[in-house]
Amino acid sequence: MLNATHNPALRSWVASANVAGCDFPIQNLPFGVFSHGGSAPHGGIAIGDQVLCLQDALAAGVFTGLAAAAAEAACEPTLNKLMAMGNLPASALRAQVSALLAEGATPRPDLLVPMSEATMHAPSAPGAFTDFLTSIHHMWRGIKSRDPNGQLPPAFKHLPIAYNSRASSLVASPQPFVRPNGIRQNADGSVVFGPTVSQDFELELGFFVGAGNRLGQPINVDAAEDHIFGLCLLNDWSTRDVQRFESAPLGPFLGKSAMTSVSPWVITLEALAPFRIPGPVRPEGDPAALPHFVGAKDQAAGGLDLGMEVLYQTPAMRAGGQAPAQVVNTNFRHMYWTLAQMLTHHASNGCNLRPGDVMASGTCSGPTDDSRACMSEITRGKDAITLPNGEQRLWLEDGDEVIFRARAEKAGAVGIGFGECRGVVLPAVAWPAA
């Protein structure tokens, strides 16, 4: 549903928010947790190249009613409490923040902190992190690289498949990623422990659970988005050699748990309303989704037209002043399942979801070569990526940095961005001697 906060004519007295192509115009207003000048972490809202400090704004008395209650909840070191309130209070706060920051309102630069002076923190302290695999293109490329005659797992078209990943190691960008030590099996059959030789990234869309559900109480697919507080970019750093060897028969464990990065700004579904599209239409011959996955609202607008990219920069590129090069260019519209279907599936057996829990879509690969959204799809460990300066990469090397970006655009709307999810790879730690 569109409202006054989406009005494309709206501009802000924060000049940087009005620059064409800005990720955080007044139509976006994402939530994040930041600290500045030695403060404890607390909530803020991004506007242009500034952060609106919700603590200072609340103290200044600029919010009323439900919006004030939401701002108060956002003064905690995580957004869990705000997320637990469900989406209505956050929406009330969005409406008042929009009015506060709009051109014509009395400018309040005293409530702003430059982003350059803000340290970003993870938006929530998640009790759980669930990673799905909902791109059929990612699935097929993985299968074909192992076996040209391989078949799709029997469940893929009947349910959004997933595994329980690790919540404790989920961090906010731009925290560096330390190359993990792990156990792999070499081509000659020998088994060794040491720094991985096939570290990968996975470009994913993450989402935060808002209001939870009681243990035993499932969530209807057309009510599922009421339980999604907002979206972020997510890098499911994947240690392929470790993952390959450890995964039979229980699935990935240490190959996925070393660290997960999220972009620090949570883009609300309300902000993304202009960019929704119908849920994916299944190709002729595919089985129909089971009835509990089918809802009128989700079919009509469960999809999302979101351009996503990965930029890559090596130490030599950095030293030579060369800009990061695009290695992935994809769109969330290629996914086989919707966000609502993922959440509904998760709770369908009565499993309780809790505010601040994180879920992710799985690698957002599309059908074309440029939309392969992890290195194992692009190189298969054989066909190196060639960067603009001639350097080649099969996997991530120490000092390499990956930068995820995403942007929603539509004629007649002001485009919004997700900011960045970035991380540089640092060398593995030495194994402790004692």
HEC per residue, 292-340: HHCCHHHHHHCEECCEEEEEEECHHHHHCCCCCEEEEEEEHHHCCCCHH
Contact 113/313 with Cβ under 8 angstroms? Answer: no
State yes or no: is 292 an active-site residue: no
Reading the block at residue 230, the tokens are 């907002």
Query: Min. distance of Cβ 236 from Mn ion in angstroms?
Result: 4
Closer Cβ to Mn ion, 200 or 391, answer by number: 200
Sign (positive or negative) of CA dihedral 191, 193, 199, 203: positive
Smaller CB distance to Mn ion: residue 73 or 203? 203
Number of residues that bind Mn ion (CB under 5 A): 3
Q: Sketch the per residue contact string, 168 through 187, with Mn ion: x for CB under 5 A, - otherwise.
A: --------------------
Per-residue binding string, Mn ion, 99-138, x by CB under 5 A, is --------------------------------x-------
- Least distance from Mn ion to the Cβ atom of residue 315, Å: 26
Catalytic pick from 121, 137, 138, 346? 138
Nearer to Mn ion, 162 or 387 (CB): 162
Residue pair 128/358 in contact by the 8 Å Cβ criterion: yes
Query: Residue 225 interacts with Mn ion (CB under 5 A)?
Result: no
Would you give the end-to-end CA distance of the chain in angstroms? 60
Candidate list 23, 72, 200, 202; residue touching Mn ion; CB under 5 A: 202
Core vs surface per residue 65-95: b (16+ CB within 10 A) or e: ebbbbbbbbbbbebbbbbbbbbbebbbbbbb
Least Cβ distance, residue 310 to Mn ion (angstroms):
14
CA distance 355 to 183: 35
Q: Which is nearer to Mn ion, 95 or 143 (CB)?
A: 143
Smallest separation, CB 138 to Mn ion (Å) = 9
Nearest by Cα to 83 from 239, 207, 235: 207
By beta carbon distance, the residue nearest Mn ion is 236
Region of 24-32, 36-44, 231-239, 396-404 interacting with Mn ion (CB under 5 A)? 231-239
When the beta carbons of 80 and 363 are compared against Mn ion, the nearer one is: 363
Give min distance, CB of 312 to Mn ion, in A.
18
Comparing CB distances to Mn ion, the nearer of 191 and 248 is 248
Question: Nearest distance from residue 131's CB to Mn ion, in Å?
Answer: 5
Amino acid present at 55: Q
Cβ neighbours for 49, distance < 8 A, ≥ 6 positions apart: 16, 24, 114, 115, 116
Does position 236 bind Mn ion by CB under 5 A? yes
Give the residue among 404, 203, 425, 179 at the shortest CA–CA distance from 315.
425
Q: Which residues does the annotation mark as catalytic?
A: 138
Judged by the rule CB under 5 A, the positions of this chain that interact with Mn ion are: 131, 202, 236
